[in-house]
Amino acid sequence: MQYNNWGPQDLSAPQAKTLRQVPATRGLVVEDVQTGWVGAVVRIEKSGGMHIMELADRREKVRAFPLGFGFLIDGEPVEVVAPVAVAAPQKAAKTASGSVKVTGVRAQVAKASRIWVEGKHDAELVEKVWGDDLRLEGIVVEPLRGIDDLTAAVRDFAPGPNRRLGVLVDHLVPHSKESRIVADLMKSPAATNNVLVVGHPYVDVWQAIKPATLGIPAWPVIPRTMEWKMGILQAFGWPHSTAGDVGLGWQRLLSRVNSYSDLEPSLLGRVEEVIDFLTAPVS
């Protein structure tokens, strides 16, 4: 009998199909069969006559594995081999959210869990910064068009252990209308351990973009008598009379956002909290 990482192999029996050899290039995503660890290759080194690769998951936790058999790529058993030339250690590529960039893997089919945001602009901002992470996890972002009927919407969604719900609320500060709506939800039977509501302090998600990203010292202060977004556009000297002007203005602002570093920490932390909540193992 001869042994490999897959167990005993009877040499007298018909031989199985030779596994495809895949070089352990940086960014390759593999799954270790024995532990279930899934990660992207971030480092290759030679130690004691064998090659060791380090795999980082989306939270940048790293584990080391020897090259060889016992790995899957998109469900296919493969033999992971050393690249032709092992490069010096390099930092892994990052997504716009700052996570390790995963390549060579298909997006997951959408799961039942959802992230709800208040409007279209919130959804577009979350998609631009966290889109790679969300596609990898199979999480969909849906705009609510406002949260006035949040309790009824959550009840109709019917959250459960495999159908979690994360809600990101604008202007969630003490004594605001939004804080009262969330408080009513949390007192209702619809609020279970499978629902997480978080919020940021800004009047609108536009303000979650750092002023420095836009080349201004601070966001303009808009009188309560004026519609906030149109007031912002007017202060910038941009067209501001119609809904179309607002949409075009938002696209100009969004175009300045390239990564998480362009956003305020108070939004970053809340979105990461929701993603962690939705992707945590079901206990």
Element (H, E) at 185: helix 177-186
* Model pTM score: 0.62
Tell me if 2-81 shares its fold with 114-279. no
The secondary structure of 211-270, three-state, reads HHHHCCCCCCCCCCCCCHHHHHHHHHCCCCCCHHHHHHHHHHHHCCCCCHHHECHHHHHH
Fold classification of 114-279 is Rossmann fold (3.40.50)
Percent of the chain, pLDDT > 90?
54
Whole-number average pLDDT of the chain = 83
Q: Would you state the pLDDT for residue 15?
A: 43
Q: Would you state the pLDDT for residue 100?
A: 47
Q: Beta strands 29-32 and 68-73: pairing type? A: antiparallel
pLDDT digit string, tens, across residues 94-146: 665 455 455 554 444 447 899 999 999 999 999 999 988 888 888 999 999 88
Look-up of token digits 């490069």? 87
Higher pLDDT, 149 or 104: 149
What's the pLDDT band for 18 if we cut at 50, 70, 90?
Answer: confident
Contact 198, 274 (CB under 8 A): yes
CATH number of 2-81: 2.30.30
Contact 71, 38 (CB under 8 A): no
Q: Would you state the pLDDT for residue 93?
A: 58
Contacts of residue 168, Cβ cutoff 8 Å, sequence gap at least 6: 115, 116, 117, 118, 122, 126, 198, 199, 200, 270, 271, 274
pLDDT digit string, tens, across residues 25-78: 888 888 888 888 888 888 888 766 778 888 888 777 888 888 889 899 888 899
Q: Would you state the pLDDT for residue 178?
A: 94
Contacts of residue 267, Cβ cutoff 8 Å, sequence gap at least 6: 200, 202, 205, 208
Q: Would you state the pLDDT for residue 222?
A: 94
- Residues 275-283, mean pLDDT to the nearest whole number: 85
Q: Would you state the pLDDT for residue 133?
A: 84
Domain residue spans of the chain: 2-81, 114-279
Q: How many whole angstroms separate alpha carbon 263 and alpha carbon 261?
A: 5
DSSP letter (8 states) at residue 165: E
Q: Would you state the pLDDT for residue 37?
A: 86
DSSP letter (8 states) at residue 119: S
Higher pLDDT, 159 or 94: 159
pLDDT digit string, tens, across residues 222-253: 998 999 999 999 999 999 999 999 999 999 99
Nearest Cα to Cα of residue 229 among 252, 255, 197? 252
Q: Would you state the pLDDT for residue 272?
A: 92
Residue 153 in this model has a pLDDT that exceeds 90: yes
pLDDT digit string, tens, across residues 177-213: 999 999 999 999 988 899 999 999 999 999 999 999 9
